Amino acid sequence: MPTALITGATAGLGAAFARRLAGDGFSLVLVARDETRLAEVADQLKLRYGVSVEVLGADLATEDGLARVESRLRDGVDLLVNNAGFGHPGSFPTVPVEDEVRMLKLHCEAVLRLTLAALPAMRERDRGAVINVASVAAFFTRGTYSASKAWVVNFSESAAAEIGHPRIRIMALCPGFVRTEFHQRAGMDAATIPGFLWLKADDVVNEAMRDLALGRTVSVPDLRYKAIVAVGRFVPRGVVAAVSGRLGRR
């Protein structure tokens, strides 16, 4: 039975990945900071899908948390989903530097280190995959969040090319606005975001798994967002920055 490790697994896209992969017969390793909630999610998945679920409480913005998950990955998994992340309630440069550094540690350092920790066992088994959850924001300009997600996309494409192994895949997943807890925690006003831009977490995960199977290195779920990204390449950067900066702001 294949094993998948998912970070940020208690809500949103992480929980959707857990449901999809459990339904596909994966044993799960779920990683999150809230150990109580983590245990509740694990019990629900075991009951519904009858799969093995291991829980690992860890804050990936800390050295101890990263080291714990790295150690588990060295034992081997078939699929790593680097999903943990957050958004700031404020905008640059008003966000405290400590919060900015925490974001970079979680979105960039954790993705780098966990991917590197997972790859040796995948090479030994001659198979495996890594999905790094980025965002459509990676193609636009919205402070440190966009910059960090742009790094995730570039890193994933570069790593996939340099590994050059047909049975080991690395893909960046770039969803748009998904109905999760993310926006509330980030202090965003969801009412300012047009209704047609919202996606369902389960739909995003299903499209991500399809794109991974097709060997794509970047997945942008939904035709609406594929079009937005394509058009955005031809719009002046200043205009893009002005529009993206207003979306979701209170």
What are the catalytic residues? 145, 149
Burial of 214: CB neighbours in 10 Å, binned 0-12, 13-18, 19+: exposed
Q: Please give the single-letter amino acid code of residue 132.
A: N
Q: In what order do the strands lie in the sheet with 53-57?
A: 53-57, 27-32, 3-7, 79-82, 128-133, 168-173, 218-219
Of 158, 140, 159, 160, whose CA–CA distance to 150 is shortest?
140
Distance CA 28, CA 37 (A): 16
Distance CA 12, CA 173 (A): 14
Residues 6 or more apart in contact with residue 126 via CB below 8 angstroms: 167, 168
Q: What is the DSSP letter of 140?
A: S
Q: What is the DSSP letter of 168?
A: E
Count other C-beta atoms under 10 Å from residue 49's C-beta: 18
